[in-house]
Amino acid sequence: MLTQHTYWNLDAFSNPATDLIFDHSYYMPFSQRLLEPDSSMLPTGQILSIPAGDINDFWSKPKLVGADRDNPLWKGNCGAGSDCGGYNNYWIVDKPGSKAAEPVATLSSDWSGIKVDVYTDQAGMQVYSTYWAGGMATLYSPFDNRTT
């Protein structure tokens, strides 16, 4: 089982405004679908399409990780059986072979100017963020290849 649990805070907890990553921009241009989770965040086997503008839409354009904190769907999005607010979903990567040299995900911070591109040849990525782990938000994406 390929996995990588890299937690990113591109501001290195130095941003005077926040130590969270809610103001980091995230983009997954090849991920218009995700695996439906049950209340424990285990995949049901159903594949869901993500409409543009949805809380889980990171494909139509880059979006701040915390952009949907006021959305009623925020609570429970990372665990329907809890009050967890954020992301804990498996996005499917539908990347055509002709786009092999393009990243499947990009995380960036305007404050630090740092950007991370994620490349993979795998079928999907788990993305996790939380606000309840010691006051910090984290984001990880399993991948098997490289980041730049």
Using one digit for the tens of pLDDT, what is the confidence trace for 78-103? 776 667 778 888 899 998 877 778 99
Q: What is the mean pLDDT of residues 2-7?
A: 69
The one-letter amino acid at 17: A
Q: Which of 135, 61, 47, 124 is nearest to 93 (CA)?
A: 124
Q: Are residues 78 and 88 in contact, defined by beta-carbon separation less than 8 angstroms?
A: yes
Q: What is the mean pLDDT of residues 16-20?
A: 86
One CATH from 2.60.120.10, 3.30.365.10, 2.160.10.10, 2.70.98.10 for 24-147? 2.70.98.10
In the structure encoding, which two tokens stand for residue 65, read together? 């990780």
Output the pLDDT for position 4.
Answer: 67
Q: What is the mean pLDDT of residues 93-121?
A: 90
Domain residue limits, the chain: 24-147
Residue 135, pLDDT > 50, answer: no
Cα gap 68→64, rounded to integer Å: 8
Cα gap 111→46, rounded to integer Å: 38
Which of the two residues, 101 and 137, has the higher pLDDT score? 101
Residue with tokens 């995900």: 105
Q: Which of 114, 120, 113 is nearest to 31 (CA)?
A: 120
In the structure encoding, which two tokens stand for residue 81, read together? 């059986």
The reported pTM is: 0.85
% residues pLDDT > 70 (the chain) = 82
Over the Cα atoms of the chain, what is R_g? Answer: 15
